[in-house]
Structure 1
Amino acid sequence: MQEQLSFKSQQVGQLYLVPTPIGNLDDMTFRAVNILKEADLILAEDTRHSQKLLNHFDITTPQLSYHEHNEKERQAEVLAKLAEGQRIAQISDAGMPAISDPGADLVTACIAANVPVIPLPGASAGLTALVASGLNPDRFAFIGFLPRKKNDRLHSLQDHVNFPYTMIFYESPFRLKQTLADMMGVFGADRSAVVVRELTKSYENFVRGSLGELVDYYDVHPDIKGEICLLLAGNDHPQSNDDLLQSALADLSLAEQVNWWMTNDSLTSKQAIKKVAKQNGLAKQEVYAAYHMGEEG
């Protein structure tokens, strides 16, 4: 058990997680600017990118790069500075650090070292998109980026077929069309979804509809640019595991389904025939005849 008193006087420093604008610089908070000015060091995902933000707000605090390719090497250095009492602010290129960005491992390491981790509220693309999406915002899950490889992506989507709440994804404009097509194949053409581009910028754009409608829309409008949030409605009518399995077996013949149940669930032929009949809404005699005809064939 551990209790953190974020602002109690202590010997070690503090790690501040500072959100930055996702497009509109006016979304930077007064507190975020002050923390960045007062910090001893800023950890930035891309120091060249962040320098534009710092220049805009006249922030002269030194930066140190901290990103997915060097965070393991940097972590010990950062922990040592915190142990000396330094106040360090972490930022990502946009939005909240540690959300699909570097930072989560450093937070864990700081907690293990009893270094206070102090979050600031601010811009977050996923939540900003959610509240204006028109989908249910009461309960939701942040999924983030899907795997790039098609089979891995499909497996990940299939894991969420029965998920009952709104899902928030991040996606590249180069993969959006393929991801929408994959989602339609897994969730069906009628599932509601929203594509949100360029949040808080002058070209902010929401496209709301069913997955089928969105696939058709981006076939006609293939020029896709900008940062994208993709939101998907939850499943209002989740299927049982048996129903999901039956959907997967639907392309097999009745005889093949019987054999599948016998092989994979250790059922007798009689038990498997009864199972297949129930799953397909058929009379046992019909499945029995199809099974034995298949055996003879």
Structure 2
Amino acid sequence: MKGKLYMIPNHLGNENTALTIPSEVAAMACQFRYFIVENLRTARRYLRLLDSNMDIDASSFFVLDKHTGPKEYASFLNPILDGQDIGVISEAGCPGVADPGAEIVKIAHQKNIEVVPLVGPSSILLALMGSGMNGQNFAFNGYLPIDKTERTKAIKHLEARSTKEKQTQLFIEAPYRNNALAQDILKHCRPDTLLCIACNVTLSEELIVTKPVSAWKGKLPDLHKKPTMFLIQA
């Protein structure tokens, strides 16, 4: 009998896991002995947070990162074929969403392996919930281009798309480029376009504020190196 592939949510930076990870999910995660993770050190630390008594050294970890070749992906699922369950852990939030874990899930479906997503925090949904923007029609666009010209085009395109489709547009940036992206949004979006900045979601210093672009000018918070979700609605 095959095992199953469990998608284990991670916290978003708040190590008080009781706030974001259901107790039954935490208990289940620590029963597995095989894991597919983005980073070995942080995954082990996370499991310790969930259960300080877990025998982590008895567990096996497969690392899925930018150095992992596609030919290795399928081999990670071999324990499932032997009847063992495997847990997938991303660096933050829900694995498989803006996350390389999606490749493993794709292969699992091809091999008729059951995939079980577990409940946990998603910065995308939490930001949308707190934004007051359209939650029935929205799109997550990941990272915008680094090149300044291309990024300007992308911002204008997303604003036009929001206008045309009445759709909330969500996107992110590398934390050390957050301030530059925020300034570009103010520079290239219309004054009446709504901008929500959702920063440090679930942390004690959480900030989720929605204002027209015109109201943000001269009043942007310092977002440098802080996990931030940007949302616009035109």
Aligned to 1:174: 176
Equivalent position amino acid for 1:41 in 2:
Y
Say which of 22, 35, 39 aligns to 2:32: 39
Equivalent position of 2:12 in the other structure: 22
Instruction: For structure 1, list consecutive stretches of 5 or more residues without a partner in the other structure.
Output: 1-10, 236-297
Higher relative contact order (CA 8 A, sep 6+): 2
User: Which residue number in structure 2 is paired with residue 52 of structure 1?
Assistant: 45
Q: TM-score, normalised by structure 1?
A: 0.68
Q: Measure how far apart 1:69 and its partner are.
A: 2.6
- Structure 2 unmatched ranges of 5 or more: none
Please name the residue that 2:189 is paired with: 187
For residues 52-83 of structure 1, what are the alpha-carbon distances to aligned partners after superposition, in whole Å with 9 as ceiling and x for unaligned?
Answer: 22112223352332223315253132132222
User: Conserved in 1, the CA contact under 8 Å of 2:93 and 2:122?
Assistant: yes
Q: How does 1:119-268 map to 2 (within 5 A)?
A: 119-160=117-158, 161-163=160-162, 164-218=166-220, 221-222=221-222, 224-233=224-233, 235=234
After TM superposition, give the deviation of residue 182 of structure 1 in Å.
3.1
What is the aligned partner in structure 1 of residue 2 from structure 2? 12
2:98 pairs with one of 92, 97, 100: 100
**Percent of pairs with identical residues:** 27
CA–CA distance in structure 2, aligned partners of residues 194 and 49 of structure 1: 30
Shift of 1:223: 6.1
Contact 1:180–1:214 (8 Å) recurs in 2: no
Do 1:54 and 1:60's aligned partners in 2 also have CA atoms closer than 8 Å? no
Structure 1 residues 26-51: Cα deviation after superposition (integer angstroms, max 9, x where no partner): 21112321222222311121121122
Partner of 1:64: 62
Note closer, same or farther for the CA distance 1:185–1:44 as it changes in structure 2 (3 Å cut).
same
Partners in 2 of 1:197 and 1:34 — Cα distance?
29
Q: Secondary structure at the match of 1:132?
A: helix
Distance 2:111 2:37 in 1: 21
Note the C-alpha offset of 1:114. 0.8
Question: How far 1:138 moved relative to its partner?
Answer: 2.7
Kindly indicate whether the alpha-carbon contact (under 8 Å) linking 2:196 and 2:211 is maintained by their aligned counterparts in 1: yes
Separation in 1, partners of 2:186, 2:124 = 21
Is contact 1:180–1:215 with CA below 8 Å preserved after alignment? no
Q: Secondary structure at the match of 1:115?
A: coil
The answer on whether the counterparts of 1:96 and 1:123 sit within 8 Å (CA) in structure 2 is: yes
Aligned partners of 2:8 and 2:117 also within 8 Å? yes
Cα distance, 1:89 vs structure 2: 0.4
Asked whether the 8 Å contact 2:178–2:225 carries over to 1, the reply is: no
Runs of at least 4 residues of structure 1 off by over 6 A? Answer: none
Greater gyration radius: 1
Pairwise CA RMSD of aligned residues? 2.1
